Amino acid sequence: MTSPPSPPSPSTAPERTACSFCGRDNASAAQFCSDCGKPLQVSAARVPPTYSADRVSASAMPSGQVTTAGDKCRKCGKGVGPEVPFCAHCGTRIADKIEEGMCPGCGAGYAKGSDLFCAKCGYRVGERVSLVTKAVGGNTAAFGSGMRLSGPRIAVLDERGEPNKVFMLDRGEAVIGRGEADLKFEYDVYLSPLHARVDLREGSLWLRDLGSRNGSWVFIDEPTKLVDADLILIGSQVLRFRRLGYPGPHPPEADSTRRMGSVTPPVDVAVLEQLRADGSVRDAFHLSPGRTAILGRESGDWIFPYDQTMSGRHAEIVSEDIEFFVQDAGSRNGVAMSVRGDRELKKGQRFLMGDQILRVENI
């Protein structure tokens, strides 16, 4: 009689906790993700970080060799994963290869150049972007020596359309906003705290709005097809494109009397709605097949004489059968479309968030 097979031995690899926000693996005892700073445990979101005056600094902690699966922290005894620089439980430095730092929030160790947030308290300890150039007295000053200039760069433009600052996306990603963002504009009241995000993926730069109140806008440089609910920024006017569809035929009257009314155009299939700040509709302009509409401050089919940011002849809505396209008519300030989902950015393309106009300098 043969004995049953013995159960497989349990794995000696330490447990890992994947961040539900960014997906990075962290040690099971970590309270905050070391990449994005989001809480990994419910208790971490409720308990504020504390600083212990007698905590040993990371630089003074004993260093060991680069860890392998199954190793334990020599100070607290907790298990640590392979190739990690610091213990996520007590902050002890456990790898020689990584330059250490000490979190200003709680004193725990972190890996400089690798961790963005402290795994112990969630304090931000790293940056995704670096300042490359800044306009000083009309001149452009460069920062840093031997700085890499081949990665993605984004310029912040001044009122003349000239670069005021240029930022390098050191990690190929950045969050833009008024709050704890990588590109931070704390005095721009039209920006949400976390407004939008740019990411480099497979050689292309992508922009995604993060649910901001005022949206993110990309300036167009060619005729762009309009789909239902698209938002267009022309001067200071926010216009919404809506599809109406074809109305059904009118049934004949009982006494055969014909109805009066305009026969040209026979039908309107779309409409442009002028939106107020509260989202209500102030005015509307109907669109029909075969009809081109010109919008501007001085001349055209729909005129906005009160908008000083709009050119005299600013934009055109061109009909191609039942489809409609918007294009710039040589305006000074351009025509922008609201971002829906992911929008690819090209080199030299401008985009708007709040009062900030930015431009892709390099990808």
Overall pTM > 0.75: no
Q: How many CB atoms lie within 10 A of CB 274?
A: 17
Give the pLDDT of residue 231.
Answer: 98
Mean pLDDT by 10 residues, the chain (363 residues): 57 68 76 76 50 36 43 68 63 57 78 75 78 67 51 92 92 92 95 96 95 97 96 97 75 70 71 95 92 94 97 96 93 96 96 96 92
Per-residue pLDDT at 85: 58
Name every residue whose Cβ is closer than 8 Å to that of residue 343 and which is 6 or more positions away in sequence: 206, 207, 208, 218
pLDDT reported for residue 83 = 58
Element (H, E) at 357: strand 356-362
Residue 233: the pLDDT is 98
User: For the chain, how far is it from start to end, CA to CA, in angstroms?
Assistant: 69
241: closest CA among 340, 334, 330? Answer: 340
Is the CB of residue 27 less than 8 Å from the CB of residue 89?
yes
